[in-house]
Amino acid sequence: MARLFDAYIIVDWSAASKPAQGANSVWIGALARDARLKFQFQAANPSTRLAARDMIAGLAERFISRGDKVLIGFDFSLGYPAGTAEAIGLKTDGTPAWLAMHEHLSSKVKEKADNSNTRFAIAAGLNYAMTKGPLPFWGAPARDQIQTLSGTKGDFAKSPVAEYRICEEWVRKTQRSKPKSSWQLYGAGSVGSQALLGIPTVQALRKTLPKSAIWPFETGFEAFDAEALTDTDIVFAEVYPSLVSAKPETGEVADQAQVRALAHHYYGLDESGKLGALFGPPEGLDSTLIPKIVGEEGWILLK
């Protein structure tokens, strides 16, 4: 069986508020064919999110210009628990809830050359829209805590939306891993800030790069084959690095090792004909949940 993709780009995002490199910064790993048609891996460590956006676009454009199909994986959630768009008050008449949320965040997040951001203020505003209090977003340094954004988790029994997405609950149940909630913005292992700042980048790339689609929102939640990608050159997907073991090599930081390991992992699955099935629902998933997954929550490209 032929591979679905010819290039694999894995992105480890960062919510840093100033230019940063090394550990806990943006890492981009690309596994693609070289001039002799052999797959080679290269990693880059742009110091800002804007630079990273330009770099990802440049890589993708170069690959598709030579006829490649490209998988681009981001290590943050591409959706929020079902009901989020409605709770915020976004108009979803004729617009899928996931897209309404993406466009709303894109209008709020303004990336700057110095990498500064207002993610805590944005989250506080979204909390006010949903609950008028410190739910559901939580986690912030003391200087950014206000009435609608607390440093600690609130009572989700009072929240209009769930603490975890269906896919996060699935991973917690079936894998030896416990992904954090998209609502947690701050603290060890948190990913909420990365999603808040990363989704606008994915949306910008989706609009910039031709024949691109976000899985599963635009592709459907079903197994891929070559025919499924006939009109699609680039697939954006959510990945979860902790599902794959990544041991840093000499001179590597952990984030760099993770993008390398994931790129090789998906390439290996594709080479063996096993990757396509992962774009569909896992065995045992309640099929009645699929509309929520496709309409707003998204899914993780599991192993």
pLDDT, averaged in runs of 10, over the chain (303 residues): 92 97 97 89 98 98 97 98 98 93 97 96 98 98 98 97 97 91 94 98 97 98 95 97 90 95 97 97 97 98 90
Question: Distance from first CA to last CA of the chain, Å, rounded?
Answer: 19
The pLDDT of residue 37 is 82
Check: CB of residue 71 under 8 Å from CB of residue 213.
Answer: no
The pLDDT of residue 1 is 59
The candidate with the shortest Cα–Cα distance to 204, out of 236, 233, 239, 231, is 236
Evaluated on CA atoms 282, 286, 287, 290, the torsion sign reads negative
Integer-rounded Cα radius of gyration of the chain = 19
b/e burial code for range 98-132 (CB count within 10 A of at least 16 → b): bbbbbebbbebbebeeebebbbbebbbbbbbebbe
The CA–CA distances, whole Å, from 104 to 79, 127, 128, 255, 264 equal 12, 14, 15, 29, 34
With a CB cutoff of 8 Å and minimum separation 6, the contacts of 223 are: 276, 277, 278, 279, 280
**Half-sphere exposure of residue 264, counting CA atoms within 13 Å on the CB side?**
14
User: In this structure, how many other beta carbons lie within 10 angstroms of the beta carbon of residue 36?
Assistant: 6
The pLDDT of residue 278 is 97
The whole-model pTM stands at 0.97
User: In this structure, how many other beta carbons lie within 10 angstroms of the beta carbon of residue 91?
Assistant: 10
